[in-house]
Chains A and B, each alone.
Chain A
Amino acid sequence: MIRYVVKRLVILIPTLLVVAIIMFTLMDFVPGDPAVIALGSGNHTQEEIELKRESMGLNKPYITRLGEYIGNLVFHFDFGTSIVDGTQIKTAISDRFPNTLKIAIGSILVTIIVGLPLGIRTAVRANTWEDKIALFVTLLLDCMPSFWVGLLLVLLFALKLGWFPSSGVGGLKYFVLPVIANSLGGGLAGFTRQTRASMLEVIRSDLVTMARSKGLSEREVIYGHALPNALIPIITIVGMRFGQMLGGATIIEVIFSIPGLGPYLVNGIGSQDYTVVTGGIIFIAFAFAIIMLLTDLVYAFVDPRIKAQYVARNRKGGRKDE
Chain B
Amino acid sequence: MSELMEVKHLKKYFKSPRGTVHAVDDVCFSIEKGTTVGLVGESGCGKSTLGRTLIHLSESTDGQILYQGRDVTRLNKKELIEFRKHAQIIFQDPYSSLDPRQTVQDIISEPLLLAKYGKDEVQRRARELMDTVGIEKRLRMSYPHELDGGRRQRVGIARALALNPEFIVCDEPVSSLDVSIQAQILNLLMDLQEELGLTYLFITHDMSVVRHISKKICVMYLGQMVEQCEKKELFEHPLHPYTKALLSAIPTTDIHAEKRRIMLKGEITSPINPKPGCRFAARCPYAKESCNEPATLREVAPGHLVACARAEEVNCMA
Using a CB–CB cutoff of 8 Å, the interface residues on chain A facing chain B are 205-207, 209-217, 225, 228-229, 302-305, 308, 322
Contact = CB atoms under 8 A, between A and B. Distances in A.
Contact of B81 (A215, A229, A302, A308): A215
B143 A207 contact: no
Contacts of B111: 214-215
Given A207-B96, A209-B97, A214-B110, 17 more contacts: A205-B97, A206-B91, A206-B92, A207-B99, A207-B100, A210-B98, A210-B99, A211-B99, A213-B57, A214-B111, A215-B80, A215-B85, A215-B114, A215-B115, A229-B100, A304-B145, A322-B145
B100 A210 contact: no
Contacts of A210: 89, 91, 97-99, 156, 159
Contact of B88 (A213, A228, A303, A322): A213
A118 B37 CA distance: 44
Interface in B152-168: 156, 159-160, 163
Interface string B117-150: 0000000000000000000000000010110000
Provide the main secondary structure of the chain A interface: helix
B26 to A, nearest CB: 25
Contacts of A225: 99
A173 to B, nearest CB: 41
Contact of A209 (B52, B101, B159, B160): B52
30 contacts: A205-B97, A206-B93, A206-B96, A206-B97, A207-B98, A207-B99, A209-B57, A209-B89, A209-B91, A210-B97, A210-B98, A210-B159, A213-B57, A213-B89, A214-B114, A214-B159, A215-B80, A215-B84, A217-B77, A225-B99, A228-B101, A229-B99, A229-B100, A229-B101, A302-B101, A303-B100, A303-B101, A304-B145, A308-B145, A322-B145
Contacts of A207: 96-100
A206 B114 CA distance: 20
B246 interface: no
A213 B143 CA distance: 20
A215 B87 CA distance: 11
B55 interface: yes
Contacts of A217: 77
Contact of A305 (B81, B96, B100): B100
Interface residues of B, number: 30
Contacts of A308: 143, 145-146
Contacts of B91: 206, 209-210
Contacts of B97: 205-207, 209-210
Interface of B: 52, 55, 57, 77, 80-81, 84-85, 88-89, 91-93, 96-101, 110-111, 114-115, 143, 145-146, 156, 159-160, 163
Contact of B114 (A205, A216, A303): A216
B52, B101, B145 — most chain A CB neighbours (10 Å): B101
A43 B114 CA distance: 84
A304 B114 contact: no
A213 B55 contact: yes
A95 B13 CA distance: 64
A213 B80 CA distance: 10
Nearest to A228: B101
A304 B89 contact: no
A199 to B, nearest CB: 15
Nearest to B96: A206
Contact of A212 (B57, B77, B143): B57
A229 B102 CA distance: 11
Contact of A304 (B96, B100, B110, B163): B100
Contacts of B100: 207, 229, 303-305
Given A206-B91, A305-B143, A308-B143, A213 B96 contact: no
A231 to B, nearest CB: 10
Contacts of A229: 99-101
Contacts of B85: 215
A114 B92 CA distance: 37
Contacts of B98: 207, 210
Contacts of A302: 101
Nearest to B92: A206
Nearest to A322: B145
Among A207, A304, A308, max chain B CB count under 10 A is at A207
Given A207-B99, A229-B99, A303-B100, A216 B110 contact: yes
Contacts of A213: 55, 57, 84, 88-89, 160
A10 B156 CA distance: 43
A212 B89 CA distance: 11
A126 B123 CA distance: 38
A205 B111 CA distance: 19
A68 to B, nearest CB: 51
Contacts of A212: 57
